[in-house]
Amino acid sequence: MDLNAAEQKRIEAEWSAASLATLIDDILEEHHEPTKKKLAELKNFVGEAVKESTSTCDSLTSLDSAIRGLMMTIKMHAEKEENVLFPMIKRLEAGDSRADEFCGGIENPLRVMEKDHREIDLHFERLHRWAEQHRSDRTVEKVRVIFLKLLHQLEADLKIHMYKEDAILFPRVKALG
Ligand SMILES: [Fe+2]
Ligand SMILES: [Fe+2]
């Protein structure tokens, strides 16, 4: 999931010198909360389409399960950041030297988060593959168009979100040690 160069520059200029606590609060407000809403909207939309489909539609059922997989991965990932990593970073930045003793050092949770991000990318690839495979399937065309619109909105925001973490927050945390 790559962000275009102009956006990367804009984010770097905005966040490279801010405090980590301020950046974390921005990520939580501007990305974590909106992502939960966007995901719920996507899940509800496809869930309704599955219910409304007259026949047992394997195509929609497979889309529904792919979305549930994405939701679960993002939910667990966000909980780890919100409950473990972000509070730990705030304590480190505030000078609490014991903060990184937990979890065997800050490197470990950072590595897990980076791995989660790659897993989230794989979920998106799976969802795009579904859309590609059903490009000429007229039985799901209406659902496919709206699904893709919602997916693109979610993805556009996640690109910014993950760039703030992967390219700004996590490297700056590593540099603290
Ligand atoms: Fe995040
Ligand atoms: Fe993340």
* pLDDT tens string 2-44: 899 999 999 999 999 999 999 999 999 999 999 999 999 999 9
Is residue 9 a part of any domain in this protein? no
Work out the mean pLDDT of the chain and round it to a whole number: 93
Neighbours of 3 (CB within 10 A): 19
Distance CA 135, CA 144 (A): 8
162 C-alpha to ligand 1 centroid (Å): 7
Task: Give the pLDDT confidence of 139-163 residue by residue, as tens digits.
Answer: 889 999 999 999 999 999 999 999 9
- The burial class, CB within 10 Å (0-12 / 13-18 / 19+), for 89 is buried
131 C-alpha to ligand 1 centroid (Å): 26
Is residue 74 a part of any domain in this protein? yes
How sure is the predictor about 58, in pLDDT bands with cuts at 50, 70 and 90? confident
Beta carbons of 53 and 142 less than 8 angstroms apart: no
Question: Which tokens sit at 130?
Answer: 């579904």
78 C-alpha to ligand 2 centroid (Å): 6
Is residue 27 a part of any domain in this protein? yes
| Structural domain boundaries, residue 90 | 18-176
Beta carbons of 95 and 27 less than 8 angstroms apart: no
Beta carbons of 15 and 30 less than 8 angstroms apart: no
Q: Count the alpha carbons within 13 Å of 19 in the hemisphere toward its beta carbon.
A: 10
Is residue 108 a part of any domain in this protein? yes
Distance CA 107, CA 148 (A): 36
Closest CA to 1 of 118, 153, 168, 165: 118
Is residue 87 a part of any domain in this protein? yes
Is residue 3 a part of any domain in this protein? no
Closest CA to 99 of 90, 88, 109, 110: 88
Distance CA 60, CA 53 (A): 9
User: How much is the average pLDDT of 162-172?
Assistant: 97
115 C-alpha to ligand 2 centroid (Å): 9
165 C-alpha to ligand 1 centroid (Å): 7
Is residue 13 a part of any domain in this protein? no
Is residue 7 a part of any domain in this protein? no
Query: Residue holding tokens 């919602």?
Result: 150
Beta carbons of 64 and 44 less than 8 angstroms apart: no
- Structural domains of the chain, count: 1
Which ligand is the nearest neighbour of the Cα of 113? 2
- 50 vs 98 pLDDT, higher one: 50
